[in-house]
Homo-oligomer: A and B are copies of this chain.
Amino acid sequence: MKRLATLDASWLAVDSEDTPMHVGTMQIFSVPEGAPETFLRDVVERMKAQREVAKPWCYKLSYPGNLGRLIAPKWKIDDDIDLDYHVRHSALPRPGSERELGVLISRLHSNRLDFSRPLWECHIIEGLENNRFALYTKMHHSLIDGISGVRLMQRVLSTDPNETNMLPPWAVRPDQLRASKDDDEASIAAAVSHALDALKLQADMAPRLWGAASRLINSVRHPEDELTAPFTGPVSLLNHRVTGQRRFATQHYQMERIRKLAKVAHGSLNDIVLYLCGTALRRFLTEQGELPETSLTAGIPVSIRPADDQNTGNQISFMIASLATDEADPLTRLQDIKNSTKKAKEHLQKLPKAALTQYTMMLMSPYILQLVTGMGGRMRPVFNVTISNVPGPSQALYYEGAKLEAMYPVSLIAHGGALNITCLSYDGSLNFGYTGCRDTLPSMQKLAVYTGEALDELESLLMPDAASNTEAPESRAPAKA
């Protein structure tokens, strides 16, 4: 039996009907050309025949004594896994477009995991139009974080389209995992983990930490006027308590389009992503008469090289930037966002390593506390929306000869933060996954559509000649739920 880390245990403690704490990955594959009619069924059968279950897929919770979930749960290895329960073959109703897929993923992501079994499900979904299928895998956040989940699913795949008899996700042993270029990524979970390392947080220290963090934050003297501080975002539609049902939507664009815009705008790729999200959010909230007077803020995990450190590479930190949703003019909005991220990054980059670590901890602590105590939505938000931009594989990947066409994280949301946007690059495209609370965001698919329209608009503003030639064939109708 393996003891759960304190933080992992807290994801269990905060899991509830309204805030199920699992994370997912959705992958879309093309059936190989010339494959037999039975291709997918054969794949499912081969997958299910592989009954050896590796870590962490074989872990289930064990509660020594009768003291309930909060008291020191442990992981134990389940050597009698009901694989027919965990591995599920599903189908989409016709026409099987991204829309029907989004609806199904939303439903599946809304269902809680069964806590008496290993905390994962793997759904193989047939009937996606243009001879494609999808794989949706969910796992509890106490076992894995969202980006590590994406990595886990990615490492099951091969760069070789001719490789066959591949292992199913649950049978790939950690030591067989294809090496990742960098395990330390600018994800929310990594930032949380760095923040906690800095503090050696124990669950019973939480009240003391809360006080310390509040004092620290109040005492911060920002040298730059334009630095966006925590707790300065408005209390928006996105920052109340959430309910248990989810929506999921997707968009993907050619990376080249984003890259060109970043170059012309003298900004970073991330600035363009923030601009697209901010612009879509501004329109979305305006239409509902819910646009706050002050700008929404985004919490963004970043990878930073400390000022005094030339050797050990980057460190994960966290920044808060303005989305300039209070600015009506698109180009001024872009400029505001660029200024905000520039100031935030400069601020981080000036910090020596020790201070950077402490600063990250200070900035993240209230967010972490809102998460693990479930207090989010009952206090002022630390920031309004989480936007992550994570680099993914640059080469095409395959499973049993089926090409991976796109890959999206399906995130968790928590009280006080009804929307999560995570972008993942893959093989020349940028994949946007929107995870939201069903009741808070009844027309979330519009937000996804507006992101695409913001991209078209920015192109026509910054590159008026080029934009007229762009047909944007890869900008699909969004998956909606």
- Copies per assembly: 2
Contact present for B89 and A90 (CB under 8 Å): no
A93 to chain B: which residues have CB within 8 Å? 41, 89-91, 126-127
Q: State whether B116 touches A85 (Cβ < 8 A).
A: no
A434 to chain B, nearest CB (A): 17
Please determine whether B245 and A85 come into contact, CB atoms closer than 8 angstroms.
yes
Q: Which residues of B contact A94 (CB under 8 A)?
A: 41, 91, 126
Residue from A82, A85, A104, A111 whose CB has the most chain B CB atoms within 10 Å: A85
Given contacts A85-B438, A438-B85, contact A244 B114 (CB under 8 A): yes
A103 proximity list for chain B (CB < 8 A) = 89
Interface size on A, residues (CB 8 A): 27
User: A111-B111, A438-B85 are contacts. A91–B127 as well, Cβ < 8 Å?
Assistant: yes
21 pairs from A and B in contact (CB 8 Å cutoff): A41-B93, A41-B94, A82-B438, A82-B439, A85-B245, A85-B438, A88-B107, A89-B103, A90-B91, A90-B93, A90-B104, A91-B91, A91-B93, A91-B94, A91-B127, A93-B126, A93-B127, A94-B126, A111-B111, A114-B245, A116-B243
> With the chains together, A143 CA to B89 CA distance in Å?
32
Q: Indicate if A92 sits at the interface (CB-CB under 8 A).
A: yes
Within 8 A of B (CB), among A105-143: 107, 111, 114-116, 126-127
Which residues of A approach B to under 8 Å, CB–CB? Answer: 17, 41, 82, 85, 88-94, 100, 103-104, 107, 111, 114-116, 126-127, 243-245, 438-439, 442
* A126 cross-chain contacts in B, Cβ below 8 A: 93-94
Residues of chain B lying within 8 A (CB to CB) of residue A115: 17
**A90 (CB) vs chain B CBs: closest residue:** B93
Chain A interface mostly helix, strand, loop or mixed? loop
A111 to B103, CA, bound (A): 17
Which residues does chain B contribute within 8 Å of A439, judged by CB atoms? 82
Q: Which residues of B contact A85 (CB under 8 A)?
A: 245, 438
Q: Are B438 and A116 in contact (CB under 8 A)?
A: no
Chain B residues, CB < 8 A from A127: 91, 93, 127
The answer on a CB contact under 8 Å between B116 and A244 is: yes
CA–CA, A88 and B93, complex, Å:
10
Chain B residue with minimal CB distance to A124? Answer: B93
* 3 residue pairs, one from A and one from B, having the closest CB atoms: A91-B91, A91-B93, A89-B93
User: Which partner residue on chain B sits nearest A111 by CB separation?
Assistant: B111
A158 to B90, CA, bound (A): 32
Given A85-B245, A91-B92, 12 further pairs, Cβ under 8 A: A17-B115, A41-B93, A82-B438, A90-B91, A90-B93, A90-B104, A91-B91, A91-B94, A111-B111, A116-B243, A116-B244, A127-B127
A41 / chain B contacts, CB cutoff of 8 Å: 93-94
Shortest distance from the beta carbon of A36 to any chain B beta carbon, whole Å: 12
* A114 neighbours in B (Cβ, 8 Å): 244-245
Return the chain B residue nearest A41 by Cβ: B94
Residue numbers in B under 8 Å from A89 (CB-CB): 93, 100, 103
Report A293 CB to chain B, min CB distance, Å: 28
A89 CA / B41 CA spacing, docked (Å): 22
Complexed CA–CA distance, A103 and B89 (Å):
9
